Amino acid sequence: MKIKLSNFSFTFIFLFLLFNNLIRGQEWNTDEKDLTKRVEQFLFFAGNYDIESMSKMMTDHANVGIARLKDGNNFIITMTIQQYFEETQKRTLRPYFEPVNEFTIHIDDEHLAFVRADAILYAYGVPQSHNLDYFILMKENDVWKFLSLSYTPTPIP
């Protein structure tokens, strides 16, 4: 009898968790799917330093913000997207990959969106930092374009 009860309990718990996850699982609408795809495309282009492809995804006056903790002090860097591209071209480039673990998306009036992407940045397959990326996008001629790109990295020891 104990074995049957145990099997029943296991089955009940399994079905409950499965059902609960299905209910809580997020159904993405078309705009949300487009936004996640757009952010993932941007992160792919950024990781490969494809400035031409990234620039096509921006509004005319897009900006970049970086907030980080260094040597116990908080500091913030802000610049236009053009300044960011110019600075990128001056550096030694190290390709990276930044897969997103979780998206948070807010859309207003079907043309303004806020996207938070929780991701781990990898360089040469090694995790480097836990990044929280924040994007504001605007829909222009049915295409989502980046207005603001900000992130805060936390190094992974």
| Longest CA span, the chain | 72
Return the pLDDT at 100.
98
Give the position of tokens 């952010």: 39
Span 84-106, pLDDT tens digits: 999 999 998 899 999 999 999 99
Per-residue pLDDT of the chain (157 residues; tens, 9 = 90+): 444 444 444 444 444 444 444 433 557 799 999 999 999 999 999 999 999 999 999 999 999 999 998 888 999 999 999 999 999 999 988 999 999 999 999 999 999 999 999 999 999 999 999 999 999 999 999 999 999 999 999 999 8
- Is-contact 6 110, C-beta < 8 A? no
Residue among 128, 112, 55 nearest 85 (CA):
55
Span 28-43, pLDDT tens digits: 799 999 999 999 999 9
- Is-contact 121 153, C-beta < 8 A? yes
CA torsion angle 18 24 25 26 (round to 10): 170
- What domains does the chain contain, in order, with CATH numbers? 29-155 (3.10.450.50)
Count CA atoms closer than 13 A to 73's CA, side-chain side.
3
